[in-house]
Amino acid sequence: MRILWLQRALLGLIAVASLYASIHNLVSTYALGSIADDPVADWEQRFVPLKERLPFVRGVIGYISDSDVPGVIFNAPNDEGEYILSQYALAPIIIVKGTDQEWNVANLSPEGFKLWSAANAGSYDVQPLGRGLYLLHRLRN
C-alpha cells in the first residue's frame, strides 16, 4: 500500500513539475527578444553592398577583423561570431582569414581600421561600405 502511495506521489510530482516547467519555459522564450528583430538578417543586409561590388559570385576572399590588428582590444566570442556570420552572409563565397587574397573584406571598429590602414598604407584599394565594413582590393606591386 505504501508503494502505491509513493507511486501516486511521484506521478503527481511529475505532473506538477512538468506543467510548471512548461509554463516557465514558455514565459522565458519572450525574453529572447522581439519577433520583429532578426540580427542575422540584419548582418546579412550589411554585406549586400559588398557582394554587389565583388567582381565574382563564387570563389575565395580574405577576411580580417579587430583580432587581426595588433593593439586593438576586442571581444573574442563576438569576433568569432561575426566571422561565422560573415561566412553565412557571403555564401557561396568562401572567406578565409587574412588578407592574402586579391579581394578581402575588413570588418573593423574605427580604432581597428585606423591602426590597420596606418600599417598597410598603399597596399590595398579600400572601399568603405559603412557600418565598419571595408572592401580591400590588393594592389599589384
Reported residue count of the chain is 141
Query: Does 91 help bind another protein (rule: CB under 8 A)?
Result: yes
Question: What three-state secondary structure class fits 54?
Answer: coil
Name which of 58 and 140 has its Cβ closer to another protein.
58
How many Cα atoms within 13 Å fall on the side-chain side of residue 125?
9
Residues 30-89 that bind another protein (CB under 8 A): 30, 32-35, 37-38, 40-41, 57-58, 60, 81, 84-85, 87-88
For residues 90 and 74, give the distance between their C-alpha atoms in angstroms, rounded to a whole number: 23
Name which of 87 and 115 has its Cβ closer to another protein.
87
CB of 118 to another protein, least distance (A): 28
* Phi, psi (deg, nearest 5) at residue 26: -60, -45
CB of 33 to another protein, least distance (A): 5
The alpha carbons of the chain give a radius of gyration, in whole angstroms, of 25
Question: What three-state secondary structure class fits 15?
Answer: helix
For residues 86 and 80, give the distance between their C-alpha atoms in angstroms, rounded to a whole number: 10
Q: Which of 8, 53, 114, 131 binds another protein (CB under 8 A)?
A: 8
Binding residues vs another protein (CB under 8 A): 3-4, 6-8, 10-11, 14-15, 17-26, 28-30, 32-35, 37-38, 40-41, 57-58, 60, 81, 84-85, 87-88, 91-92, 94, 96-97
